[in-house]
Amino acid sequence: MRFSREDWEKNFAGYYKGKVEFNAPMRGHTSLAIGGPADIVVSPEDPVSVKNIVMLLSRLNVRFVALGGGTNILVTDRGIEGVVVKLGAFSRVEIINEEDARAELFVEAGAMLQKIVNLCRDRGYTGMEGLTGIPGTVGGAICGNAGSCGSEMKDVLASVVLLHSDGTLDRVGVEDLDFGYRKSGVGGTDIVLSANITLRRDDTDAVTLRTENCFKQKKAAQPVSGRSAGCVFKNPAGMSAGRLIDEAGCKSMRIGDIEVSGIHANFFVNLGKGTAADYLALMDAVSARVKERSGVILEPEIRIIGKE
C-alpha cells in the first residue's frame, strides 16, 4: 500500500518528531547512489517517535524498513513502497563498565561502526580489528553480521534491544539470535535500537597495529573510493567469490554504468548513472559465467529492497 503525504499528516500529527522526506529518491540514502523513491523516509529524533511509527504503521498495514548507512543494499529503480526508518539520531556510544581485562559498551544502532572500531584501537580492546574500514552503522553491522579479516560482529556482541512491530521491546542475548555467515536472524519488522558489546583488553600498540594492517590490506584490495555496496555475492564454503568471478573472466565486465571492479571482482561499482536494472543484469551475467566455468551457484550478499 502506498503511503502518501496526506496519510502521514492524518496519522502522525503529534505522534512524531524528526525529519520527514516524501517521495525521497533512495540514491541519496545509499552508498551505491542507486534507487527510485521511497514513499516516505523518516529520521526520528527520539525513541518515542520510533515506537509510535512502528506501532502505527503496523496497525495500518503499511510496510516499513529500517535503514542504517545504506552501504549494503541495492534499492530497485521503482523505489520503496512504504516507509524507510533511519536511526541516525541514535548514535550514543558509552563505556558502561571498564575492568582490567574487559569492557562493556552500550551502543545505539545509528552509531557508525567505525566509531567503535576506533575506540577499541585507541583504548586497547581486541575483537573488532578486522571490522576496520567497513562503512555503515552498528544496526546494519548486526543485521548482516558484518565481518572481515577474522572478526565478525557476533563475536563481540552480548545482547541487542529489539523494537517489535507491536511497539514492545525485548533485550535478546546473542545466543538466542540466529547468527551465521552474513546473517543474524534480526530484521524484517524488528528494529535494532541498541546493543551491548563485550571486549577483551589487549596491548594498545598491538591492537593499533592489527587494525592498521587490516585497513591497509583493504585499501589495497578493494575499490574503497568507488560507489559500491561492498561484496555483491557471499563466499561459497571454502571459496572466494571474488576469485571465482575473476577466474570466469568477468573483471571489468560492464552493463550500462555498472562495472565489475578491476581491483576486486566481487565489488560492482556505479560509474555515475548506473541503475538497479543494470546492476541486477550484471549480477545475472556474472553468476551465469561463474556457474558455467566452475559449476558454483553464487548467492547475493547485498540486500535487494524495493518494488520489482
Identify any residues that bridge with 241 across adjacent strands, giving them in sequence order: none
Any catalytic annotation for residue 2? no
Residues 6 or more apart whose CB falls under 8 angstroms from that of 70 comprise 26, 29, 30, 31, 136
C-alpha distances out from residue 42 to 31, 61, 113, 296, Å: 18, 17, 21, 40
139 binds ligand FAD (CB under 6 A): yes
Range 235-294, binding ligand FAD (CB under 6 A)? none
Task: Select the residue interacting with ligand FAD from 144, 242, 274, 306 (CB under 6 A).
Answer: 144
256 and 274 in contact (C-beta within 8 Å)?
A: yes
Task: Select the residue interacting with ligand FAD from 36, 44, 68, 79 (CB under 6 A).
Answer: 68
Identify which range of 14-22, 37-45, 185-193, 198-206 contacts ligand FAD by CB under 6 A: 185-193
Identify which range of 45-53, 134-142, 198-206, 283-291 contacts ligand FAD by CB under 6 A: 134-142
Identify which range of 63-71, 100-108, 170-178, 246-254 contacts ligand FAD by CB under 6 A: 63-71
35 binds ligand FAD (CB under 6 A): no
Which strands, in side-by-side order, build the sheet including 64-67? 18-25, 37-44, 80-86, 64-67
Site of grid cell 541516525: 88
Of 120, 143, 214, 231, the catalytic one is 231
- Burial call 122-161: b when 16+ CB within 10 Å, e when fewer: eebbbbbbbbbbbbbbbbbbbbbbbbbbebbbbbbbebbb
Task: Select the residue interacting with ligand FAD from 136, 242, 274, 306 (CB under 6 A).
Answer: 136
Dihedrals φ, ψ of 10, to 5°? Answer: -70, -40
Quote the least distance from Cβ 130 to ligand FAD, whole Å.
8
143 binds ligand FAD (CB under 6 A): yes
Residues of this chain that bind ligand FAD (CB under 6 A) = 31, 65-73, 87, 109, 134-137, 139-141, 143-144, 146-148, 187, 191-192, 222, 224, 228-230, 303
Catalytic residue ranges: 182, 231, 301
